[in-house]
Amino acid sequence: MASARLSALASVAIGVWLAVALPVSQGAGIVTLIGLSGVALLALGLTFGLHGGVTAAAVAFVTRSAVATTMSVEVQPPLWAQVLLIVLMVELASASFALRSRPGDPMLIVARGLTTALVAAVLAQVLVLLVEGVEARGTLVSLAGVTAGVLAAGWVTRVWHRSGLSG
Amino acid sequence: MTGQPSPRLRAYVTAGVVGLIAALAVGEPSPALIGAVLLTLAIVGIVGGAAPSSELSVLDVPTTAVEGRPFDFLVWIAVEGSIGRAYVDLGLVGLDLVDVVGARKVGRSAFSLMSIGALAEVTVKVEPVGWGRASVGPLELHAESPLGMLDLRLQGSTRHDIVTLPEEATLRKLMSPIETNLHVGDLISTHRGPGSEFAELRPFRHGDDPRSVNWRVSSRHEALWVNERHPEKNGDVMLVVDSQVEAGTELQSLVDRSVRLAASLARAYSKRHNRIGIVTLDGLCRWVYPGMGEHHRRRVLEQLMSVMPGEVIWEAAERAVVRAARRPSMVLVITPLMDPSMAGLIHALKRAGVDVSVIALDVESVLPLAAGQARLLGRRIWAMERERLCDRLSGEGIPIVSWRSIDPPDVPLAQLETWRGRWRRLG
């Protein structure tokens, strides 16, 4: 139980750090607010055992990143670090839930979470390098983006159903 | 085995889709990149984490255990294919996990396996804690898909109930029932019949076994005389366990003592081929008629192990005891004698001609010190009333002894036997 609490605390600490990473003085108060709302939801979820808190926090941080890109300020931390911290936050929060509901080795779970976060950060940096300098705007690009999104969602749903996880 | 999406899978999928949509909304690629990474993790996790068909079972769990004596059982896991690190929750109730062979012990009721390929066998050693009812299972196996996107879970279907018996004291001397029944046993009956114990001599009658002729006496009397013998029979012993004490107080230890003594008596009398019966008086009044054999002994012990402190309904209790404890049974009442109704019940047995003896548990040694004059006075009045009950019972010829907590169980039994012997000589 102690390891579950520690894991939850570490997850919330990472969330707070990520939320306040963009200084308010740079005119990014709304960005900080979105981040802190996500942290608040995460803390609530972890306190009351609601899995939705993790999802809400992850969504809040992705939204925060999207809003931050529209502002004329330097985005902090860099994208790969954002991905690393978001994944680490989600992994630690999930570890906390797992350790509360069933037996488990905390060190192994945390080690796997760290590895996943590092892999995700490397993947994000590779993608950044790939799309650097590419400007994707216009109706056609939007249409292609929507189509890709729908296809990806459809594929995930199909895999989900075929694996018998939908119940 | 079933797979449930873990919180991280829901978070990655939802945040990933939100990232893609947000990228379209703001016209910047950064959110889409974050979303793409998260969706990639989710997809990789789902693809690599199918739930294999598997089976989980427990073998060699005993039905009876003795408090403080560890025992082993086997956990058998069969998987079609393989799974990674798995945790098995044993669902132990009333048992402590001591050791695991073939896996790693995790916490107080679980073990973990690095991986399971096709078949895994684990030997688990557990130790019963206290007497009563214990159980193993239903077992639960928890595993995760490679990236932890799915929580794989398998639940065993059976729960194995175990009756944990108290560590039984060895009783050196037991009271013998005065009356015997018709079954063959170790007790010397007062009746005449085929046996080994000499009773008396009498003149030969037609039909007597020639082997019973006492030739030495016959030659002296110039007529045939035969030896008469006492047959060896067994007796019925009915244990009455009174557990009317307040639950959650120090008095609860009295129930523990009563149960331990009753279990020891049941074992000792069974060994001497007597028939054992039991009446337990708690919230429910239940009884088992006298009987023999291992199956019957188990029934008696199972009932004894389910005794809980509770308030006795005395009308029902009296009916039950009088019905179950009939002649020729020897009734042994183990009671804290907290209620005058118990004394009334013992009277009723005595009136019915039943051979009844009482072991009254020493209550005062377990009570907390009385604080204040009023409490002290109340305690003294209560002690006097209890003493008066004991005096009344002994005045009617009912053997009654007080069993102090420092004395071994042999002491009250020896005192009762001395008392009964004295009464028999006087009678």
B174, part of any domain: no
> Do B196 and B333 belong to one domain?
no
> Do A108 and A159 belong to one domain?
no
> Do B248 and B387 belong to one domain?
yes
Confidence of residue B49 (pLDDT cuts 50, 70, 90): low
Q: Give residue-wise pLDDT tens across range B252-303.
A: 788 888 888 898 888 888 888 888 899 888 877 888 888 888 888 888 888 8
> Do A129 and A148 belong to one domain?
no
> Do B276 and B226 belong to one domain?
no
The answer to whether the CB atoms of B29 and A116 lie below 8 A apart is no
> Do A76 and A157 belong to one domain?
no
> Do B159 and B84 belong to one domain?
yes
Phi and psi at residue A66, to the nearest 5° = -65, -45
B171, part of any domain: no
Q: Give residue-wise pLDDT tens across range B222-259.
A: 888 988 887 776 788 899 988 887 777 777 788 888 88
Min Cα–Cα distance to chain A from B130, Å: 25
Confidence of residue B193 (pLDDT cuts 50, 70, 90): confident
The answer to whether residue B154 scores a pLDDT higher than 80 is yes
B181, part of any domain: no
Q: What percent of chain B has pLDDT over 90?
A: 4
**Better-predicted residue by pLDDT, A166 or A90:** A90
Whether the upstream peptide bond of residue B52 has omega within 30° of 0, thus cis, is no
> Do B124 and B210 belong to one domain?
no
Is-contact A31 A71, C-beta < 8 A?
yes
Range of the domain at B62: 54-165
> Do A108 and A42 belong to one domain?
yes
Q: Give residue-wise pLDDT tens across range B311-351.
A: 888 888 888 888 887 777 789 999 988 888 888 888 888 88
Of B38, B41, B47, the CB nearest to A159: B47
Of B24, B27, B31, the CB nearest to A62: B31
Long-range contacts of B369-376 (CB under 8 A, 24+ apart): none
Range of the domain at A98: 2-134
B178, part of any domain: no
Min Cα–Cα distance to chain A from B1, Å: 11
Of B4, B8, B23, the CB nearest to A91: B8
> Do B281 and B405 belong to one domain?
yes
Is-contact B271 B286, C-beta < 8 A?
no
pLDDT the model gives residue A89: 92
> Do A107 and A39 belong to one domain?
yes
> Do B62 and B150 belong to one domain?
yes
Phi and psi at residue A7, to the nearest 5° = -65, -45
> Do B36 and B63 belong to one domain?
no
> Do B155 and B226 belong to one domain?
no
Is-contact B98 B126, C-beta < 8 A?
yes
> Do A111 and A87 belong to one domain?
yes
pLDDT the model gives residue A75: 67
The answer to whether the CB atoms of A66 and B39 lie below 8 A apart is no
> Do B161 and B143 belong to one domain?
yes
Total domains in the fold of chain A: 2
Q: How far is CA B390 from its chain centroid?
A: 30
B200, part of any domain: yes
pLDDT the model gives residue A118: 92
B121, part of any domain: yes
> Do A26 and A65 belong to one domain?
yes
Give the predicted TM-score (pTM) of the model. 0.63
> Do B257 and B377 belong to one domain?
yes
The answer to whether the CB atoms of A58 and B14 lie below 8 A apart is yes
> Do A27 and A97 belong to one domain?
yes
> Do A66 and A121 belong to one domain?
yes
**CATH, residue B376:** 3.40.50
> Do A79 and A122 belong to one domain?
yes
Q: Torsion-angle region of residue B269: left (phi > 0), alpha (psi -120 to 50) or beta?
A: alpha
State the amino acid at position B128 in one-letter form: P
Instruction: Give the integer Cα–Cα distance in Å for B421 and B424.
Output: 5
Cα distances from B29 to residues A132, B25, B33, B256, in angstroms, run: 9, 10, 6, 72
B22 inside 8 A of chain A by CB: yes
B172, part of any domain: no
Which residues in chain A are closer than 8 Å to B147, comparing Cβ atoms?
112, 116
B27, part of any domain: yes
State the amino acid at position A44 in one-letter form: L
Of B8, B29, B43, the CB nearest to A94: B8
Phi and psi at residue A94, to the nearest 5° = -65, -40
Q: What is the DSSP string of B289-345?
A: EEE-SHHHHHHHHHHHHT-------HHHHHHHHHHHS-TTPEEEEEE---SHHHHHH
> Do A34 and A92 belong to one domain?
yes
Q: ipTM score of the complex? A: 0.82
> Do A88 and A122 belong to one domain?
yes
**CATH, residue B123:** 2.60.40.10
